[in-house]
Amino acid sequence: MKPAILIARAIFPEIIERLSGYFDVESNQEDIIFTAPELLAKLKGKQGVLCTASARLNAELLAQLPALKMVANMAVGYDNLDLPACTARGVMASNTPDVLNETTADFAWALLMATARRVTESEHWLRAGKWNKWSYDAFLGADIHGATLGIIGMGRIGQAVARRSMGFDMRVVYHNRSRLTDQQESYANNAVYVSKEELLKTADHVILVLPYSTETHHTIGAAELLMMKPSATLVNLARGGIVDDVALIAALRQQKIAAAGLDVFENEPKFHPDFLTLKNVVLTPHIASASEATRRAMANCAADNLIAGLSHQRPPNLLNPAVFVN
């Protein structure tokens, strides 16, 4: 008998077909966002689940799923998983790192450039039929070339973002839990390690690429926004909750900083409605990894992890190796 698994969100049909060769698959192509009781009911008797950030597997839920052996998260971040609880119950957990680094770094630059050069604001103005002449001071934005780029969170994606700054002749400063090696700094456009405070005070453009945790909650709040230059921009493509959205809205409204580009939000998809009242913000619906090739790679990576874990092999991207028993 094949092990039973749940695919908790809609996914490419070929992934379902692939996994069906190994497992008894229950899929969710209707793409319903399950409530906690619904997710529990769906997972009863299942040995594995392929999920996304919308599925929150906490200690309470895991305690009611004695058959569960493997959770394959289709994302780099895994703040939706209670990893200590998974480990305590012997449930392997995995993510999908690396396959989305370059695509996400590309999108960081899309957000940065749209934010600095007021692309969204000017497009809305044009679409509203307000363009009737050229003006010397219309939609003056901030230069990217020759500016100082500050990156908070200098993992693989942060380093990929920094490499792209070479073409813009930028100075790069970064803050991270630990300093990179000299070789890594050199490869990341000679990035310079600084304190968070110095980064915020000196950077013309700040990009957030750090994982979410209780320690990184509201890394950027009212105090941090006040440290930034009034001409600075802020881009967040990491996770909602890293920025205090209420504080950011106030800073944007009061022009404490020039603009922000946001791909992630607190309580998404129910983001703060006041963002829609602001002109100096670019908003996208958590699509930094959304190229077709990358999303397919993520789905296959999650499938690889699930197949390995439920075939008594070590998943390639195991987050809690202590639970693996060959």
Which tens digit of pLDDT belongs to each residue from 82-131? 999 999 999 999 999 999 999 999 999 999 999 999 999 999 999 999 99
Residue 102 annotated in active site: no
267 and 142 assigned to the same domain: yes
Question: What pLDDT shows up at residue 215?
Answer: 94
222 and 111 assigned to the same domain: yes
What's the pTM? 0.93
How many structural domains does the chain have?
A: 2
The answer, yes or no, to whether residue 141 has pLDDT greater than 90, is: yes
Q: Which residue is catalytic, options 164, 185, 268, 295?
A: 268
**Mean of the pLDDT values across residues 159-171?**
98
Q: How far apart are CA 148 and CA 140, in angstroms?
A: 19
244 and 299 assigned to the same domain: no
| Angle (deg, nearest 10), helices 292-309 and 13-20 | 20
Q: What is the CATH number of the domain that holds 65?
A: 3.40.50.720
Domain housing 77: 4-98+292-323
Q: Which residue is catalytic, options 9, 175, 239, 295?
A: 239
**Mean of the pLDDT values across residues 160-184?**
97
Q: How far apart are CA 136 and CA 51, in angstroms?
A: 51
Who's near 142: CB < 8 A, 6+ residues apart?
116, 117, 204, 205, 231, 233, 258
307 and 214 assigned to the same domain: no
The Cα-based distances of 57 to 26, 39, 136, 281 in angstroms read 18, 9, 54, 33
Residue 197 annotated in active site: no
Residue 239 annotated in active site: yes
Which tens digit of pLDDT belongs to each residue from 53-72? 999 999 999 999 999 999 99
Q: How far apart are CA 82 and CA 73, in angstroms?
A: 12
